[in-house]
Amino acid sequence: MRIAGFISDQLTENPVKVNYTWYDKSSGIVQWNFENMGSTTRSFILLRGIEENHKVSEIYAFGNAFYPLYYKNFNVDFVTKPEALVNVSAKANNAPLAVIENSDSTLLVAFLYTLSGGSRYSVLEGGWKGIEPGGIKIVLAKYAMTDNFSIKYDEKQCTLYNEESKTDYGCPENPFTVRSALMKINNSIKPLFNDRISVINDGKDGQML
């Protein structure tokens, strides 16, 4: 499957830098290394794609592909308030998910990273055996509110993950409900799947934390 994301330039200067190193190349595991070069806390998501024959395809937000399965099986929660992450080790670090609002108001889910000024954070990602990351970009995200969301997801995410990893993980009920921070970005990123995410209308406004 080849689905590219559409990326526009951000107007805000980005102090967060990223690079990757091979944690275990034979197993296709990379280590993403983030550093906030600024003095204030920043939240962001990571975009990356697959580089083949000097071309980059499938650019999308890290976590957007298989988040229902991560949420169900890997002790990955949705964050309700962005707080600076503690850098324990690349192997132990576990960033949360969040609902992301594009500049065109469409919603998607991705891993959210929040780093205090001058701090570093590393995380592992598998699935890179025989291929290289490309199209790497940090997109800053700004907290808008915390609310309840209904998420109806494309179940291909579960099938594809299990096929690629030769596992048999389950996924949550579909749709499922979560309480999450809503993070706004200045870019318009195309979600990898046709998930439907909506605020649950319970008569209460979202809370600013």
Domain ranges of the chain: 16-199
**Structure-token match 């957007």, residue found:** 64
| pLDDT for residue 52 | 84
The pLDDT averaged over each successive group of 10 residues in the chain (209 residues) is: 38 84 97 98 97 88 97 97 98 97 96 98 95 96 98 96 94 98 94 96 55
- Cα 88 versus chain centre, distance: 19
Alpha-carbon gap, residue 194 to 184, rounded angstroms = 19
| pLDDT for residue 57 | 86
Q: Is 27 helix (H, G, I), strand (E, B) or coil?
A: helix
Alpha helix locations (H) across the chain?
A: 67-73, 156-165
